[in-house]
Structure 1
Amino acid sequence: MGVWAEWWWWCARPGRLPRAAPLSILLATVLALISLLFLLNAKALSRHASPRQVLELEDHDLEGAPQHHPDLVTYIRQLHLVHPATAPYNLNNPNTTDFSQNGQSKVVAKILRGKRGGFFVEAGAYNGEELSNTLYLERELGWKGLLVEPDPWNFWALRKRSRKAHSIHACLSPNPFPREVSFKQSDTMGHIVSRSEEGGRQGIYARVKCFPLYSLLLALNSTHVDFLSLDVEGAELQVLKTVPWESVSIDVLCVEHRHVPEGSQALATFLQEKGYKLFSTLGDDFIFVKTSLLERPSEDLL
């Protein structure tokens, strides 16, 4: 005999039913209310994914999602973004001022006239200290920003530096949607594996998530970037082509052009069409400035 059958048999015994009736009515009412709430909640969940649901999605469920999709933005914000460190800096060379290879940081600061409290994105952030194009801006001028680093070892080293910027272990997607890729680890030369490399598999590889730049900016509630440093070993032009330029404002770009398969000129032409002027060349990097910012005597910037 089941539990419910035993309960009803007990209630139906002579002298028990009148006293058990109010309890039965109360129990039936509670069960009905619980069932109703469950049905209403199920309908609501089927219409809109909650943040908790987004976190419970399998990674592949978001592959191919539009870069502005709110579920993707929530997924990045709640599961992948690492908040700025609150501990003191932990640098190997704390007395160094400009950590960039060819003085990129100070050039950018001069272009923006020593702006304080700006916002940067550095893709290819390495270990957060050596060759950093943004650490000077962060330490000396109080900038905030986002550090993007796909190499697991480099990202671990970056976290140890206690940077005062958001960070994410990911790569910038060369497509306007998220995807997961094979990433070849190679110190400062790590890169997304191309089809021609897939057969060899010599070296150390990791599976890494790639998110569009626009998705990352939406996750940070910021679509204005004072300075974008882009060093992604050949995918620079593809990444820039994913940006919805009508929705994103970037003042200054530092873009490595050496490994762009389409060629340096293709990169320069694309950004010139988007309203930028090639300001200078520093090593393997082009510095582009929004044309509207150059409407002042050029000697002020030199």
Structure 2
Amino acid sequence: MPIKKNIEGGGGGLWRRSYTLPTILIVMALLGIVHLKGTYPLFGGEQVGSAINLTLDQMKTKDDDSDWEIKPLAIMKSRSQGFRPVYIYSNVTPDHMDQYSQEKQDQIILALTKANDIKANLNPRVEPPFFVDLAANDALVLSNTFFLEKNGWEGVCIEANPEYWYRLASFRTCTIIGAAVGGKPEDNGLEVNFALKGVLGGVVGHGTDNNEDNSANVVQVKRNLVSILTIFNQTNVPKVIDYMSLDVEGAESMVMEHFPWSDYSFKFLTIERPKDDLKEKLKLNGYKMVLVLTLYGETLWIHQPSVLLPLEEIWTIAGEYNNTYFSRVIP
């Protein structure tokens, strides 16, 4: 329905004209009164925290739908860092919704977080717990974070292999980032080779599982590196993160080499086979390895200033989930 708007002309006279709601909002956006966001950026500049968050289709149907609600799509802060939006349409549901991580890391983290929240008087929480999953791989199968998401967590899944993007976008509600991670912000855009080997794929390089020798006959694609700090800044990751799953096939040290430990912290981390340099950085920044969860070297770390649970309680909680292999790390 058109909205009648009186506008005073330059000669002092008054003239009338009918304006539709989309027209008014677009004019206001151009004047800097509001920002518009939608399935693609209409205007440049900072887009987080805008007063109105509508797609053009939403604006067109508002007057025809009395039950209309604003349900904004997730969007990056800006496109200035090389990120490009892709909105995937899917109307399918997973065949098996009860999917868990390989060695019940998800259930252990959920139980530890609940116990720690009680100790810290954070029950109930003001904000939901938050995870970072790097690399996410499949949306459901062996995911360390899908079960957390089902239990009300929010987070970010980061995955460089495009074969996983459709299912991640279809079955997950968290933010999905398709990128290879590493380096400093100044290194953003650096080109690397990425081996497409399913769950065993990753950046090809010295010291990674996918080195040049064993990846010679594997399909490789070019990828642009982006720093983990850039991703965190662009997706408004909270300063205190409840859980990070870090498993990038031997590239963990590269991913975390320039991490700003003083700006962000993780209450709990699971890291597969961390190298000595990463272990040392973790220890220097208040982290402690408390468990080895698997025969293949999956480790559990805590941020000691943030986790109030004693070691015995951590071991007891984790031990309730019947891992096939379980080793306490004695201080």
| Residue aligning to 1:94 | 97
Q: Deviations over 1:180-205 (max 9, x none)?
A: 32101001011111266189742211
The equivalent position to 1:270 in structure 2, one of 277, 281, 285, is 281
Is 1:148 paired with 2:148? no
Taking structure 1 as the reference length, the TM-score comes to: 0.66
User: Mapping of 1:186-197 within 5 angstroms?
Assistant: 186-194=197-205, 197=212
Q: What SS does the corresponding residue of 2:306 show, helix, strand or coil? A: helix
Is 1:297 paired with 2:280? no
The whole-number CA distance in structure 2 between the counterparts of 1:242 and 1:73 is 22
- Change beyond 3 A, Cα 1:221–1:88: same
Is 1:247 paired with 2:263? yes
The whole-number CA distance in structure 2 between the counterparts of 1:267 and 1:285 is 14
The whole-number CA distance in structure 2 between the counterparts of 1:73 and 1:242 is 22
The structure with more radius of gyration: 1
Higher relative contact order (CA 8 A, sep 6+): 1
Taking structure 2 as the reference length, the TM-score comes to: 0.60
Residue 73 of structure 1 contacts residue 215 of structure 1 at CA under 8 Å; is this kept in 2?
A: no
**Alignment length, in residue pairs?**
226
User: Mapping of 1:39-188 within 5 angstroms?
Assistant: 52=44, 74-75=78-79, 79-80=83-84, 90-96=93-99, 99-113=100-114, 117-140=128-151, 142-161=152-171, 163-176=172-185, 177-178=187-188, 179-188=190-199
The whole-number CA distance in structure 2 between the counterparts of 1:105 and 1:295 is 19
| Residue aligning to 1:38 | none
Residue 213 of structure 1 contacts residue 239 of structure 1 at CA under 8 Å; is this kept in 2?
A: yes
- Counterpart of 2:204 in structure 1: which amino acid? V
Residue 174 of structure 1 contacts residue 235 of structure 1 at CA under 8 Å; is this kept in 2?
A: no
Residue 77 of structure 1 contacts residue 220 of structure 1 at CA under 8 Å; is this kept in 2?
A: no
Q: Deviations over 1:8-38 (max 9, x none)?
A: xxxxxxxxxxxxxxxxxxxxxxxxxxxxxxx
Residue 191 of structure 2 contacts residue 224 of structure 2 at CA under 8 Å; is this kept in 1?
A: yes
Q: Which runs of 5+ in 1 are unaligned?
A: 1-50, 55-71
- Counterpart of 2:192 in structure 1: which amino acid? V
Deviation for aligned residue 1:73: 6.4
The whole-number CA distance in structure 2 between the counterparts of 1:295 and 1:53 is 41
User: Sequence identity of aligned pairs in percent?
Assistant: 24
User: Mapping of 1:195-234 within 5 angstroms?
Assistant: 197=212, 201-222=216-237, 223-234=239-250
Q: What SS does the corresponding residue of 1:292 show, helix, strand or coil? A: coil
The whole-number CA distance in structure 2 between the counterparts of 1:227 and 1:53 is 31
The whole-number CA distance in structure 2 between the counterparts of 1:279 and 1:82 is 39
Q: What SS does the corresponding residue of 1:237 show, helix, strand or coil? A: helix
